[in-house]
Amino acid sequence: MSKSNVNKKQTRSNYRLAVVKEDSYEEKFALSLSKRNIFLVISFITLFVISITALFIFYSPVREYIPGYDKTKIRMQAIENLEKIDSIMISLQKNKQFIESFSSTINGEEFNSVYGDNQRVQNIELSELEVNINIEDSILRKIVEIEDRFNFIESENNEISLDLISPAKGLVSEGFSFSDKHFGVDIVLKERTPIKSISDGIVIFSAWTLNYGHTVVVYHKNKLTSIYKHNESIKVKKGDFVMSGEIIALSGNTGDLTTGPHLHFEIWDSQGPINPEDLISF
């Protein structure tokens, strides 16, 4: 018999898997096997395991832990997170701009303000305007005048009316001047005169500066900020909550830009400096 015929018989040979008793060798179970049958059985078992695993993953919460898996709820949550991040970035940018302008003001540096000359309204001659008044306009004007009588109290209690108190009683030696970059008022005081907070607020700055000596900055409601410079000493620290009329410093003559014992006092809102004498009687 040639070697090729022997190899063919070996490749076609079948196997028998039997289960017998150990003591009597009685056959209990037998299974005829071949290489093809073994391959089919292994393939079937593999496909069965893969199918069961896939069904378990697709129809159970386990699928959320698979990298790259996505669903509508996750997409919506991702969009909401992106919107929140965008809002936070805008708020951070605004806070950064405010801090930079505020720091420039504290250090006496240049800054851009909406209260500058570019924002001033040009004078207009009324004679150059052509106004046509009709009966409807006259009736509407009368209605508005009547309503304004009843809105007098509301107009007096606007947001900027905070019942502000004077930080100290004294003579104003130099007033507010935007053109001269003097963004507050100078109040002549004896040294160690108590300086009071003009309203309830939170101390956001309390430290020594080279130009203005001991400086305190308090943030109030309605986005108002009060600044107290050239103090002899400070009685509060950053983060403290102060009440209206609470002593926050003692007046002095500190800093390189002082000309004698006095308090340099400023009021700012979200747009820029405000003349303190428009809000407070000293």
* CATH number assigned to the domain comprising residue 199: 2.70.70.10
- Asked if residue 268 lies in contact with residue 167, where contact means CB atoms within 8 angstroms, the answer is no
Residue 129 Ramachandran class (φ > 0 left, ψ -120 to 50 alpha, else beta): beta
Domain assignment of residue 234, yes or no: yes
pLDDT in tens, the chain (282 residues): 555 555 555 556 677 778 888 887 777 777 777 777 778 888 999 999 999 888 877 777 766 666 666 566 677 787 888 888 888 888 888 777 777 777 776 666 665 554 444 444 455 555 555 555 555 555 556 555 555 544 444 444 444 546 899 999 999 999 999 888 999 999 999 999 999 999 999 999 999 999 999 999 999 988 899 999 999 999 999 999 999 999 999 999 999 989 899 999 999 998 889 999 999 988
Domain identity same for 90 and 36: no
Which phi and psi (to 5°) does residue 118 adopt? -65, -20
Domain of 9, in residue numbers: 3-58
158 occurs within a structural domain: no
Interacting residues of 184 by C-beta distance below 8 A, sequence separation 6+:
176, 227, 229, 264, 265, 266, 267, 273, 276
Residues 17 and 82 reside in one and the same domain: no
Question: How many domains is the chain built from?
Answer: 3
